[in-house]
Amino acid sequence: MGKLTTHVLDTAAGKPGTGIRIDLFRLANNDRRLIDSRLTNSDGRCDAPLLEGEQLKRGQYELLFHIGAYFEKSGTTLPEPKFIDEVVLRFGIADAEAHYHVPLLVSPYSYSTYRGS
């Protein structure tokens, strides 16, 4: 059974990104449809997969991470406007039976991602 998961690591503080809002969208035919919004838990993960089973379909998706709000709440001094406020990751699901893990490593001035396991 396929599933989509994510987690956030605050590389500046060396800890999980807790309480970060993540919006999941499905993209199709120039349409961007919100599927779900979640908050990360104390481990920087969502409590359940973002999608799994029949909900996970082949196609294009987008994860929107609200990073600026997270760093503001953590007390990090940020410039105005913020260098990184929202991180948008667009990716494709080619095999709806596979596990797609899309982590985000983030600081106030950089981010990276990869397809994890």
What residue spans define the domains of the chain? 3-113
Q: What is the pLDDT of residues 16-69, one digit of tens each?
A: 999 999 999 999 999 999 999 999 999 999 999 999 999 999 999 999 999 999
Provide mean pLDDT across the span 65-91.
96
- Euclidean distance between the first and the last CA atom of the chain, given in angstroms as a whole number: 14
User: What is 3-113's CATH number, 1.10.3470.10, 3.10.20.440, 2.60.40.180, 1.10.287.90?
Assistant: 2.60.40.180
Give the pLDDT of residue 44. 98
108 CB-contact burial (10 Å; exposed 0-12 / middle 13-18 / buried 19+): buried
